Amino acid sequence: MAHQISESEARFVSYVEALASVVRDARRVEPLKHYCSGLLTAEGRKSVEPIAAVTAPASVSVQHQRLLNFVANAPWSDERLLAKVREQVLPAIERHGPIEAWIIDDTAFPKQGHHSVGVRHQYCGQLGKRANCQVVVTLSISNHDASLPIAYRLYLPQEWAEDAARRKKARIPDDIVFRTKPQIALEQIRVACKEGIPRGAALMDPSYGSNLSLRTGISALGLQYVAGIPYNVKVLAAPNGREPARMSVKDVALNLPKHAWRTITWRQGTCDQLQSRFARIRVHASPTRGRRGRPEETLLIEWLEGEDEPTKYWLSTLDKKTTFRRLVDVAKMRWRIERDYQELKQEIGLGHYEGRGWPGFHHHGSLCIAAYGFLISERETIPPSGPGSSRRFKKPAIPSHYRPRGAPAAAPTSHPQFNRDLTPEAGRRYCSNAASLSLLRPQLDTEMAP
């Protein structure tokens, strides 16, 4: 066990030192190391003060100021840090297969006040209603084994973007102008393409998939997509083999013959097979009257057993020769971003930053993703306990020399058993990922809703 801890420490040292190469100033290296280790070891809230308390209990006030200056004021690049994280973590992800998906999504952080950068009364997915919150747009790369956020950008509402006084107080860079969430997502995808990141099908929920400009832009970049869409999107289709007509995707689904529906199993969960009823049909999306509109795509429809009407719809530009099961499998991969958000918030403290400025907000988010990336890489080193089993794991040791003298050692914390929406083998690999977390993982449902 001592040998394993020593190796884990060495890997953490190597990982954080590689990140330190992008912060430019040698005086920022130690705060970087402390902040990353604090995100993995602090109990409860992971804001600057608790991180200072766990990394320097004998001099909390001094450490607090040092870390606060590093995260809120230091001018290092979030993009370069995330690129370095990706450089280190991508090989671990690809050991189990190539990148299959680029997942577009956003997540919200509820806020009580009105002064934090970008906060406004808007839809908050975490609460399931409109509320005071900040919203971040992200792009993640994924395969069936793991996923990692590679881009992270705060959505800046128009009233913020056009308010010079608020911009100055929140230290919003001059080149940041108002962009809709789909516009931010498309720019993240453009950058990812330019940087040569291994490509995958772009996956998105209906709030993004219903945006024609986003889908068109993705196709123009040479990427395929499987885009969730609402029931009222109009397409040109012939569900009964007659002359094509312009109708909503819901009407298309209701007019399909019974033999068009198939029960598809897309994934073996830890306990049960994940399956539902699906149909697919080739359509022309978003046509205007008298024209065929966009190139032909596949409309994928899910109709849960026992429901009165279809429940989900997707438009796909995957090759029309793609098998039915593969199409469903790719569409359902979007659940991984929900898992990432849950773990980044509950285990790493993604939404715990208490500052109000643009630089600190993004620095904290980038460092949380960096800590999460280490966990993804580290799980490769922890062997499973055997077929079909789930183990209890202890919190990993963080290098003691990352803490000033007098800091307590990290106390072991056991993990509960939990199920995963994965094959048993992949589930065991995710259990290994859990071994590196400092807080207990929540028990996850068999399927995170897309």
Question: Mean pLDDT in runs of 10 for the chain (450 residues)?
Answer: 64 89 86 93 90 92 94 94 96 93 96 91 89 96 94 97 96 96 98 96 96 96 97 90 88 94 80 86 74 80 92 96 96 91 92 93 97 88 42 35 35 30 40 39 29
Q: pTM for this one? A: 0.83
Whether 144 and 100 have beta carbons less than 8 Å apart is answered as yes
Burial letters 128-154, b for 16+ CB under 10 A, else e? eeeebbbbbbbbbbbbbbbbbbbbbbb
Question: 214 and 231 in one domain?
Answer: no
Question: 20 and 101 in one domain?
Answer: no
Residues in the chain: 450
Whether 379 and 435 have beta carbons less than 8 Å apart is answered as yes
Whether 282 and 297 have beta carbons less than 8 Å apart is answered as yes
Question: 309 and 282 in one domain?
Answer: yes
Question: 109 and 177 in one domain?
Answer: yes
Last residue of a domain, one of 173, 192, 219: 219
Whether 120 and 107 have beta carbons less than 8 Å apart is answered as no
Q: Does residue 341 fall inside a structural domain?
A: no
pLDDT of residue 76: 94
Q: Which residues contact 188 (CB under 8 A, 6 or more apart)?
A: 104, 137, 138, 139, 151, 153
pLDDT of residue 126: 82
Q: Which residues contact 9 (CB under 8 A, 6 or more apart)?
A: 397, 398, 399, 400
Please give the Cα distance from 161 to 366 (Å, whole number): 22
Q: Does residue 189 fall inside a structural domain?
A: yes
Domain count within the chain? 3
Question: 268 and 249 in one domain?
Answer: yes
Question: 46 and 111 in one domain?
Answer: no
* 87: enclosing H helix or E strand: helix 78-94
Q: Does residue 123 fall inside a structural domain?
A: yes
DSSP state of 348: I
pLDDT of residue 154: 98
Question: 196 and 106 in one domain?
Answer: yes
Question: 107 and 48 in one domain?
Answer: no
Question: 20 and 6 in one domain?
Answer: yes
pLDDT of residue 112: 86
Q: Does residue 143 fall inside a structural domain?
A: yes
Q: Does residue 394 fall inside a structural domain?
A: yes
Question: 425 and 396 in one domain?
Answer: yes
Question: 230 and 325 in one domain?
Answer: yes
The boundaries of the domain holding residue 269 are 225-333
Q: Does residue 39 fall inside a structural domain?
A: yes
Question: 384 and 282 in one domain?
Answer: no
Q: Does residue 381 fall inside a structural domain?
A: yes
Q: Does residue 109 fall inside a structural domain?
A: yes
pLDDT of residue 421: 38
Question: Which residue has tokens 């040791």?
Answer: 397
Whether 139 and 151 have beta carbons less than 8 Å apart is answered as yes
